[in-house]
Amino acid sequence: MNSRPAPDWRPLLALYWIASFIEGLGVSQIYAYLPNRLLEVGVPTADVPHFVGLLGALFFLTGLPFIPLWGVWADKYSRKAVIIRSALVEAVVFGVIAAAAAPWQLVVGMLLVGFQLGNSGVMMAAIRDATPRRRLGLAMGVFAASSPLGFGAGPALGAVMIDGLRLSSGAVFAFAALLSVGVALLLAVGSSEVRPEVVPTGGTVRLAFGAVRGVISDPIVRWLFVVYGLVFLGRQMSAQYMALLIHDVEHTSLDAAFSVGVVLGLATVVGAAVSPVGGWVADRLGFRPVLVGAIAGIAAAFALLSLASTIAWLAVVYSFAIAFQAVVGAMVSSLLATETPPERRSATLNLIYLPLYLGGIAGPAIGAGVVGSGLRSVFLAAAAILVGATAMAVVFARRTGDGQGNEISALRSGR
């Protein structure tokens, strides 16, 4: 057992918030300006939509085998080191994309993203161990807003650099690489080590397989993983094509950056700013009903995006989509943090990226196939997936709802 007191949760939350924000900023620029970068390295305009989907699937491909390992390494040795590792790899990823001069070099950069991931679950586990239970929903809600806010700032910054300063999209990614180096230094100097309540012992591989078995054998965690995987599947299908939808609505060429930056930036900032309200509400009403409502909200937003006819429509509806997505992430994290036993909490929170990785691989790949039927069909397909996720979330809430302790016990015991 860990006997050292946890550090103050508020400065820890602030540092992790910055780290997640900068990561979101850089990754969002990949979503927003990958079409620009593809044109710059010689990909024909007609081939860009298919390249966008296929390259998006590479985001998570190489990281899949490492999902159970990051949490084990973090708990056994150092959460702080694992989080700093992510920031340093971010810098390499963005640097490779910035320097790419041919499509295959972009492929290399996207494959490296897999080694960058695996930090959010570790940060959430540390926040959970340092935060009082009565503040957990708020803390998770605030943290969940960091990545969406970064996703808003990234395209806006890119628009200024490309259209305002007349720089290439390569310069945008080079700046993101510098910011990631700064985050690594900030974490190294300013963050504290937060050890888990129960430090795992034994071989890394055995512990990793044990963490996976724990997820598979726990019915509540299993439900959450399936629901969250469907949410992320629909999200990744749509996120890859938001920039192209903006160009389609405004009838602009793919190398234009202003509208993409404004719509994605404004919508994401507004949506993320609203999302902590979900955590505040959940502290009073419970995590489950808020989870169901947020997933239903994403489904409605995706359906409305497929009907968009103006930039204002896109900005408003996408704001709601981002807010609901952040709330879903906060609710899933909070449920895992409170439902999972201490000895499996950190590994389980990090393994939440198992459904995210699978959805992250399948979503863009499915989108690349669906887009052949029309760009807007991608958003309709994503909406249908989210309707299914909503139905599953309703069943989950009814079977494992707050106050149904006997049923939860029966679920866990297999009766």
Residue 1 lies in a domain: no
Residue 122 lies in a domain: yes
Q: Which H/E stretch holds residue 230?
A: helix 219-239
- 409 by Cβ neighbours in 10 Å (0-12 / 13-18 / 19+) ranks as exposed
d(CA 178, CA 174): 7
d(CA 343, CA 237): 35
Q: HSE (CB half, 13 Å, CA atoms) of 364?
A: 23
Could you report the average pLDDT of every consecutive run of 10 residues in the chain (415 residues)?
Answer: 66 94 91 87 85 75 77 87 94 94 89 83 85 80 81 85 89 95 95 83 79 77 89 87 87 77 78 75 86 95 92 88 86 81 67 75 84 90 96 90 43 41
- Helix, strand and coil content of the chain, in percent to the nearest 5, comes to 85, 0, 15
- Tokens for 335? 């449920």
For the entire predicted model, the pTM comes to 0.69
Residue 2 lies in a domain: no
Please report the pLDDT score of residue 218 as a whole number. Answer: 79
Cα 23-24-27 angle, rounded to 5 deg: 85
Please report the pLDDT score of residue 6 as a whole number. Answer: 63
Question: The domain spanning residue 210 has which CATH number?
Answer: 1.20.1250.20
Please report the pLDDT score of residue 135 as a whole number. Answer: 80
Q: Are 326 and 282 in contact (CB under 8 A)?
A: no
What residues contact residue 186 under an 8 Å CB cut-off, 6+ apart?
15, 18, 19
Please report the pLDDT score of residue 410 as a whole number. Answer: 38
Cα 121-65-27 angle, rounded to 5 deg: 55
Domain count across the chain: 1
d(CA 82, CA 403): 37
Residue 4 lies in a domain: no
Cβ count within 10 A of residue 373: 11
Domain that holds residue 170: 9-413
